A = this chain, B = another copy of it.
């Protein structure tokens, strides 16, 4: 830290500073903030920027830690002020030729409006008088003065802003005017006097006339504002670290309010909504920048400037192009015209919609402005979601009646139903429905599939409803505690309103909003094209997307597969670029009507013989399931996970289904209830499931493995090339895999002998138990692949049941900064990640051919994808609609961290 100065003039040599910082692994923005470094760079590039200097973020960090301005800072600031005075040939506080400055915050990441700014520093009575003479614009001078007192009084000294605004209001009333612009210059001078009184009343001291006093108090205030409540909240919301600090930019004031030849504007160098290549923005004649931001006056489109001041506009357009050339990106700029002279006040990379992001990236490659690699780095993977999921028509969207957790993105509207049965019936009758439940369970799978979306009262982002919703690509809002469901009366209440079964409700899984009524939705073009419902040439989005994605594909080293349980999902994922299936869950397949009864019969059997028979009755169904999926993924690997959940999840719960199960099993309802009670578990997550079932009920796994291999044989015979991979879940002990691999190999041999077909297959395991990571070397010796099940691994490494903790204390943990982000959302590098790294190292060492992947939901989350790239996994696997996101994140990981 001591290697760097505390103040950098905008016109200093930035190249050598950048080099010095790079040696520390930092960039200009780390030290000077985004605004400061861009102002320096623009100045260096001879773009007209009001002269100034930046006080470093390091200084802020010291200040925040100690509560004191670091020793030597004042001298350095004063020396910089002197340089500035020489540069602009004005002097601060000098009535002959006064310099006014602003002091603005600016951290590494943009945090618009979160921290403090004070303008017009250096103003006092003497300077005001001098300025009136210099500018001849008395009104302007007193307006600037009253703004300084208000900003300084409020921002630096904490006096309620309204008290200052009242001063202006009083004068307006006295003068009988309603608009600020109509107040006389004398009136504004009055306002200055009254504001000074307010200041004195509240602090017992006069407004400081000494410019240095004004400046240093402001610097302190800006530094302190780094840790104000709204800044902290903003950082939390946006995942910005809390230890970066903000820089302070001390900059010569320029004024857009010096008459009709002055003005101020904000613009994007391209359209941030569509990405179209044209300057896009607003301009206000005779106004200060804050007026644009505050929306007090309605601005005109930037094109008006072209008519009004063609020369200025041409200069501005040149600068915009120069900025794009320099930053290789679409820029978001602020500028001021002061009496016919253009000044650039700020530039930063512009925020944009997903649509615009992709288009701009593609266009800029065509323009020769950026490389494909740069294009890939320009699009935020998470944003791609917007392009793929159904959305509400923004114009038709009403206000939300409640907010839940946004669990699976997209928009859904339909009639309220409270049971899966009803959902299925209604869907069969051609009606759109939204399934509303306290929570969902595997028995609800069919109802969920039949619904447009799912709304639950309980649960978090990784509850059953959320996980399955994302998997199915169904919009889902969970943990919406504002709704109170009464299954008995078939209604729910929300904020006092009663919603009956059959009423329409709309949910936005991207935002968590719940709306009453049938809000209009629009499907994503890209998906329509991929599904063959729209021609490619009918969709610009698709065309840009289709050009863009292969660049990511070329760059990335990490493979991307999909988690898919149906041929339809598999096909969609394949068109989105999935190179195989990383996880096919087999449990959902048992919830079809006949299947469930057969499955229940199996569980309820008394003898091994009867169980085996019941299991074998399920074989044809499973074989069909696997046939379809293997066919859809012809030539590509398909990992099929053997049964994972505890058996009790499959048992009937209500009287009717118990009766049905009684009929097929020959048991009495009482016996069935007893068996269910016996299978009940206190902590089912840690219970009798996964490979533990495989060991104790071998007939189930044997049937499943046989179904896989028989399906593969059939496809081989038909000329396809199926690549089945058998995955054994929940292995924590070598012996589990030994026994179960043995069973699978036996069955494979049997099937080959029976069918006279030789087929290739591999057998691997999920790594989702902490212990498995510790003994990964042993396990790797008999596993062909590892697939990290990071959902369960996170649950067990933290001791967090995702169903229980997400809504309960995870938010408090984030608020209290115990964690930065839920470990279920993004892989916890220090804990879960260390276990993974250990398993990768041990596994590869024991078995160099071991294939390594991840099929937990983290596989579709960009930060986690980066981590998977870093630790050298072979692939990630995620829900179909997240495949492009993972591909893009993988490409970005390769660019940032080549392997």
Contact = CB atoms under 8 A, between A and B. Distances in A.
B801 A686 contact: yes
Nearest to A837: B774
A683 B739 CA distance: 29
Interface residues of A, number: 49
Contacts of A733: 798, 813, 818-819
A695 B830 contact: no
Contacts of A804: 681-684, 686-688
Interface in A726-754: 730, 732-733, 735-736, 739
A809 B730 CA distance: 14
Contact of A832 (B771, B796, B800, B818): B771
A768 B835 CA distance: 16
Nearest to A439: B682
A298 interface: no
A812 B695 contact: yes
Contact of A732 (B730, B831, B834): B831
Contacts of A732: 797-799, 831
B682 A803 contact: yes
A607 interface: no
Contacts of A813: 695, 733, 735
Contact of A685 (B683, B769, B834): B683
Nearest to A464: B682
B812 A771 contact: no
A341 interface: no
Given A733-B818, A804-B687, A809-B696, A831 B774 contact: yes
B730 A799 contact: yes
A808 interface: yes
A778 B804 CA distance: 27
Contact of A834 (B687, B696, B730, B774): B774
Given A688-B804, A809-B695, A828 B795 contact: no
B695 A801 contact: no
Given A733-B818, A736-B818, A817-B735, A688 B770 contact: no
A771 B792 contact: no
A805 B687 contact: yes
Contact of A735 (B682, B735, B768, B819): B819
Contacts of A377: none
A816 interface: yes
B797 A830 contact: no
Contacts of A771: 797-799, 828, 830-832
B800 A686 contact: yes
Interface in A473-527: none
A775 interface: yes
Contacts of A686: 683, 685-686, 795-796, 799-801, 804-805
A801 B646 CA distance: 13
Contacts of A809: 688, 692, 695-696
Interface in A831-887: 831-832, 834-835
Interface in A108-124: none
Contacts of A797: 732, 769-771, 774, 796
Nearest to A685: B683
Interface string A718-732: 000000000000101
Contact of A688 (B768, B769, B805): B805
B688 A818 contact: no
A51 B292 CA distance: 110
A295 B803 CA distance: 63
B735 A816 contact: yes
Interface string A387-407: 000000000000000000000
Contacts of A683: 683-686, 801, 803-804
A735 B812 CA distance: 12
Given A682-B804, A801-B682, A818 B739 contact: yes
A839 B533 CA distance: 57
Contacts of A681: 801, 803-804
Nearest to A768: B799
B688 A808 contact: yes
Contacts of A770: 770, 796-797, 799, 831, 835
Interface string A13-41: 00000000000000000000000000000
A834 B839 CA distance: 13
B830 A774 contact: yes
Contacts of A834: 774
A279 B819 CA distance: 70
Interface string A671-686: 0000000000111111
Looking at A681, A682, A692, A739, the one whose CB has the most chain B CB atoms below 10 A away is A682
A647 to B, nearest CB: 11
Looking at A683, A696, A733, A792, the one whose CB has the most chain B CB atoms below 10 A away is A683
B682 A818 contact: no
A798 B797 CA distance: 10
A684 B685 contact: no
Contacts of A817: 735
Interface string A351-383: 000000000000000000000000000000000
Looking at A774, A778, A835, the one whose CB has the most chain B CB atoms below 10 A away is A774
A682 B830 CA distance: 27
A666 to B, nearest CB: 22
A738 to B, nearest CB: 8
Interface in A420-454: none
A807 to B, nearest CB: 10
A818 B685 contact: no
A858 to B, nearest CB: 16
Nearest to A794: B771
A804 B683 CA distance: 7
Nearest to A833: B774
Nearest to A739: B816
Looking at A801, A832, A834, the one whose CB has the most chain B CB atoms below 10 A away is A801
Looking at A685, A771, A797, A800, the one whose CB has the most chain B CB atoms below 10 A away is A771
A584 to B, nearest CB: 22
A797 B818 CA distance: 23
Contacts of A831: 732, 770-771, 774-775
Given A683-B683, A831-B775, A816 B695 contact: yes
Contacts of A778: 830
A682 to B, nearest CB: 5
A696 to B, nearest CB: 5
B835 A735 contact: no
Contacts of A792: 799
B801 A799 contact: no
A702 B416 CA distance: 46
A596 to B, nearest CB: 22
Given A684-B801, A688-B805, 10 more contacts: A682-B684, A682-B804, A685-B686, A685-B801, A686-B686, A696-B812, A732-B797, A735-B816, A736-B818, A775-B831
12 contacts: A682-B803, A683-B684, A686-B796, A688-B804, A732-B831, A733-B819, A735-B813, A736-B818, A769-B797, A770-B796, A774-B797, A796-B796
Closest 5 CB pairs of A and B: A735-B818, A686-B801, A771-B831, A683-B801, A687-B804
Interface of A: 681-688, 692, 695-696, 730, 732-733, 735-736, 739, 768-771, 774-775, 778, 792, 795-801, 803-805, 808-809, 812-813, 816-819, 828, 830-832, 834-835
